Structure 1
Amino acid sequence: MKKFFAGILFVGATLGVKAQYSTLDQILTRLEERKGVNQHLENVNIDNKKFVYIKDEADHTERDFIVIKGNKVTYVEVFDDKATGESSSNVFSGDIVRNKKNIISLRADMLENKKVPIPVTKTLLLTMQDDILYLIDINTRARWIDEASYSKAKK
């Protein structure tokens, strides 16, 4: 009789552990997605993609765009002054390199078709969360959202 109860207890414990493992696995997968770790996005095409970053400050709003076409990139900064309502922009162009670990290096060395002495450089991590593509700036942790995903989410 003791062996029978021990067997039932063992089977019940095994099923409980399996259910906990499944829940734990789901939590770890979600955390990995947030951090951009362990994602297999090598086959994701970023050609002709536009990524947007909006930063709202007390005195101005900054909208930045990254437009990727092949290995060329256009980086646009738009500043909207809240006091005067005026907008100003900088349009940089350059190139990008993407490695197998989903790291994208951006180097924009032309400002409105004139060479600048210090290029704009960014190191970005391509990641996906909830079927939305993001570029995460490795240095500032800023998140650039894919414009197609953003406009699809708003609809």
Structure 2
Amino acid sequence: MKKLFICTLFFISLLSKAQNYAALDKILTVLEERRGINQHLENVSVENKKFVLIKDFPDHTERSFIIIKGKDATYVEMFDDKATGQSTSNVFSGDIIRKKNIISLRADKLENKKIPIPVSKTLLLTKQKEIIYLIDINSRDRWIDEESYTKKSK
């Protein structure tokens, strides 16, 4: 009798822990989806997309673009000097590798000349309110899809 009581108590505790685990797992899944970590965006195409990042500083403005065409990518940096009004740009070209929601960019050419240290970016593909973002994993910069940006402003 004593063994039956202990076995029943043990079984009930296991069952309650399983329910607690399921509830905690559900809460964590919802939180991850809100932050964009656990989104399933494998079917979202980034082919022929242009992503934009704009940073405004007191003395200059930086505009950066990532243009993806198939496995090839172009990374453009533009610097606008506020004092002189001059603009300068760097055009890098390279390739991308995509694994689920992670996109790795490696640009090893600067204006079609090989450079010794490639520019590399690791980006997380996220989607919030029908807007596609790329979040730089290292700097937390948010690159917005140009189509989403221009569609919003119209």
How high is the TM-score relative to the length of structure 1? 0.79
Question: What is residue 43 of structure 1 aligned with on the other side?
Answer: 43
Q: In 2, are the aligned partners of 1:33 and 1:129 still within 8 Å (CA)?
A: no
Conservation of the 8 A alpha-carbon contact between 1:39 and 1:127: yes
**Take 1:51 and 1:34, find their aligned partners in 2: how far apart are those partners?**
21
Aligned to 1:52: 52
State the Cα RMSD in Å.
1.7
Per-residue Cα deviation, 1:43-78 (whole angstroms, up to 9, x for no partner): 001000000000001110000000000000000000
One-letter identity of the residue aligned with 1:98: R
Gaps of 5+ in 1: 1-20
* Residue 119 (structure 2) pairs with residue 112 (structure 1): no
Paired position in structure 2 for 1:133: 132
2:9 is matched with none
Distance 2:84 2:110 in 1: 25
Gaps of 5+ in 2: 1-22
3-state secondary structure, aligned to 2:151: helix
| CA positional deviation for 1:32 | 3.5
Give the match for residue 154 of structure 1: 153
- Aligned length, in residue pairs: 129
Q: How far apart in 1 are the matches of 2:139 and 2:40?
A: 23
Q: Residue 97 of structure 1 contacts residue 104 of structure 1 at CA under 8 Å; is this kept in 2?
A: yes
Query: Which residue does the alignment assign to 1:75?
Result: 75
Query: d(CA) in 2 for partners of 1:133 and 1:48?
Result: 13
Give the 3 Å change call, closer, same or farther, for CA 122–43 of structure 1 in structure 2: same
Task: Show structure 1 runs of 4+ deviating over 4 A.
Answer: none
Q: Which residue of 2 aligns with 1:123?
A: 122
Code of the residue aligned with 1:130 in structure 2: it is K
Cα separation, partners in 2 of 1:84 and 1:119, compared to 1, 3 Å = same
* Cα distance in 1 for residues equivalent to 2:67 and 2:34: 23
For 1:34 and 1:59, the matched residues in 2 are separated by: 35
Tell me, what secondary structure is at the counterpart of 1:44? coil
